[in-house]
Amino acid sequence: MSSPELTPRLASLAQTGAANAVLVARIRTGDVDAFEQLFRDYYNPLCGFAERYGTPPDLAEEIVHAVLARIWERRRSWIVNGSLTAYLYAAVRYEVLDGRRRAAVEARALDQSQRDGTAPGMSAARRGPDEQCEAAELQRAIARAVAHLPERSRLVFILRWQHHLSYAEIAAVLEIAPKTVETQLNRALKALRETLGVFAP
């Protein structure tokens, strides 16, 4: 039985959850006022959250703008399972970390191109036409196989192998346990091996 001191807090959380569910439903229907309320309620806290990762204020604002703009653009298919607050913070965190990874990859590519004397994106060692065709076909086969995975396994696979997130980061983004991440990833790899015959990521 809950203590008397906890009851108001639990009631407040329940009201907030219900209000957020209504807010999400209104945004999905294209309610501009509801979206403006979401913006007012979360914009500054999300910017502050992004800055805690060492993100400059102007870039933090860009990231939050991008997250919120994407919600509005995809509002008809927008689904929030669980806490709206957790969803928004996870989305911003993902954008911050993904931006860092992209910047690191671009910096490495630029550094490598300067050492090789090639333009960024061009490899010094070129593949022959046969190798290029085989590699392209393999990539298409993998993409088709990944597209047929169950949704949760597909998300885990993409976050792990394409975005290089750790198990803990994937768990935070998807709001699941790290053990569930491991289980879903193993299922995805097994399915891909069976579909492709040979697959060694």
For residue range 98-117, what is the model confidence (pLDDT) as tens digits? 877 766 665 566 556 555 55
Most confident by average pLDDT, 16-20, 21-25, 103-107, 149-153: 21-25
Query: Dihedrals φ, ψ of 80, to 5°?
Result: -120, 110
The pLDDT assigned to 15 comes to 57
pLDDT digits (tens, 9 = 90+) for 136-175: 676 777 777 777 788 888 888 888 877 777 888 888 877 7
Percentage, residues of the chain above pLDDT 90: 21
The pLDDT assigned to 2 comes to 40
157 touches 92 (CB < 8 A): no
**Residue 105: CA atoms inside 13 Å, Cβ hemisphere, count?**
10
Arithmetic mean of pLDDT over the chain: 76
Q: Structure pTM? A: 0.50
